[in-house]
Structure 1
């Protein structure tokens, strides 16, 4: 190694030592100045045990006042709808199996139910008693929450008829299997008694299940075109929906009545300009409408307006002009159904009625 290389190496070592000594001195000065501030141990708030969180109501109130809590509208509305749905479950309308695990479990504990829920021919509803928030709420398959109890409910009746005793037996057995898997307590109502109630409920529903139609036929030489019908319907607040009919929606978002093609050919946006219609029908689904008597009055007014603007006539099912006397008789029949449903505690247009008449 030459003298020049030795000299350069010495210079490099000296520079490194100088930097090291300077950094050490700076750190010593920093610790001397600020070290006292860190001698007391501070707990990391992110890892503070949950049991140490404040539980005093007055303190919680102060925290809520200091920091406004925002709830997303969808979350708030969803919570409301869930509670309302669970409140509808009743032994008169559903077969309800109650499963109570020894400790809170998640929705994945009901895997067997999620796999078979469409095998019973009627709607299946699941509600859980929330371990954290309390109260019954709808349970979905991918819910991240834990529950201390479940209600598995099989609806007894819809417009296709009553649930069969065989399906009730299958549902009962499924609930029993789930409870056995969880080593949980279970309450299983009697299947035979429930089957009798289902038949009785179906008989009642069939007796009040009324669909009222007012037909609108064009006058001689008058042709009803799809575009013209759509224009007039939309002027009166009816909107074309996926079922091929124009619907008038009430304040709750439910159909008050609908306007359809008399021969059931659906209206479609892309074919309106090619469609020629022989007649129209306004339909009122009595059990599914709030205050159906008043709804019928509104439908009659609308039928007259549509008939006038389309140069048509209001007729009955036999294509005979509908008289005031006939309209009065129809309204009386609707009022009788409305009263009968109220007497049986199934209010026309209520959430309970809409699910039974679906």
Structure 2
């Protein structure tokens, strides 16, 4: 191989390296440009959330004729619609949706059934154009015109207070929901909302009390669940989907729940052969209206179980529960209810059930 050939080979290698290096630079610049564009888009979307207004869009992916649909923006009081009507803004917050055309019931219900990731005990309502009233979605009347929808959520629940990251997660879920239904979406976000949520959570943590009464059967007893079911059914308790029996008063307000002491769900089957070592009666203090009635009824039920199946009634520390202890507990729980009323939360009512939901 001559010196000229060697020089040509070296020059060729250098030229290839130059092209590769130039290509890398172009690739790097292109990637940086894409990253900047994505950051700008994310910043723009974040600003929309900050302004309290999100305009949803649907993009058809993997289609040469990709198109975007955008809903129509509405004002907070658009067409006289008041988002906060009948909402206790101290304990709740809401998101408003609007449409250019009538909202379709089947499509709405189908999308609502798929929704996940919302916060707390949610309440959906639609705005009846003719009566100018907000009504529950369940009362949807096909003969009426509906162009506004809202969801009401608590600022706090037993899973914690509403914080900014949770707000953003909820708004992301709801903006996607709005896009699928061709709706515009609006919700206000400010520091006051999160501060209010924190204050409500701090109070609720102080009064969030559940009282447990336990019926312990004798170690030698062979008591099957079917016998327990027959007894509690005769007392009017109802078996819920949560695997617990629930007791209600004449106004159908829940008083207490009854379940297996070992926290096994009670199955809705006939001739249940499950052996039971004990039962637990739970009184959810913030969620009941009459604490004295609930404690008295639960204690009566516990003693009737002992009279029928044997055993003893004890508290969560396995100390015997008698009338003296029960009366003392009633007085303490009355003070809890008084404190709730003074704070503006009526025990057993709608707001209390939302704030103390799991």
TM-score of the two chains, using structure 2 as the length reference: 0.63
My pick for the range that moved more, 272-281 or 248-257, is: 248-257
Higher helix residue share: 1
Query: Within 5 A, what are the aligned runs for 1:320-335?
Result: 320-335=319-334
Give deviations 1:162-210, integer Å, cap 9, x for gaps.
Answer: 22212324556767x969x9998x8743432111111221222222111
In structure 2, stretches of 5+ residues that fail to align are 1-83
Q: Is the counterpart of residue 291 in structure 1 residue 290 in structure 2?
A: yes
Aligned to 2:208: 209
DSSP-derived class of the 2:269 partner: helix
* Structure-2 separation of matches of 1:159 and 1:183: 31
Task: Indicate if the aligned counterparts of 1:165 and 1:191 stay in contact, CA closer than 8 A.
Answer: no
Residue 260 of structure 2 corresponds to 261
Query: How high is the TM-score relative to the length of structure 1?
Result: 0.63
Contact 2:258 2:282 in 1 (8 A): yes
Q: Which has the higher contact order (CA 8 A, sep 6+)?
A: 2
**Aligned pairs for 1:128-207 within 5 A:** 128-139=126-137, 144=142, 145-147=144-146, 149-169=148-168, 188-207=187-206
CA distance in 2, matches of 1:222, 1:114: 48
Cα deviations across residues 289-337 of structure 1 (Å, max 9, x unaligned)? 1212221112112222221111121112122222333222221221111
Give the equivalent residue in structure 1 for 2:116.
118
Number of the residue aligned with 2:349: 350
Paired with 1:269 and 1:152, the residues of 2 have a C-alpha distance of 33
Q: Give unpaired runs (5+ residues) of structure 1.
A: 1-85
**Cα distance in 2 between the residues matched to 1:266 and 1:170:** 32
Q: Mark the CA change 1:260 to 1:99 in structure 2 (over 3 Å): closer, same or farther.
A: closer
Q: How many residues are aligned here? A: 269
Q: Is the 8 A contact 2:117 2:170 kept in 1?
A: no
Does the 8 Å CA contact 1:107/1:141 hold for their aligned counterparts?
no
Listed as ranges, the matches of 1:34-183 within 5 Å are: 89-98=87-96, 105-106=102-103, 117-139=115-137, 144=142, 145-147=144-146, 149-169=148-168
Whole-Å Cα distance in 1 between the matches of residues 342 and 160 of structure 2? 22
1:245-284 alignment, distance < 5 Å: 245-270=244-269, 272-284=271-283
Q: After superposition, what is the alpha-carbon deviation per residue over 1:11-32, rounded to whole angstroms, capped at 9, x for unaligned?
A: xxxxxxxxxxxxxxxxxxxxxx
Whole-angstrom distance in 1 between the partners of 2:133 and 2:140: 19
Q: Is the 8 A contact 1:211 1:285 kept in 2?
A: yes
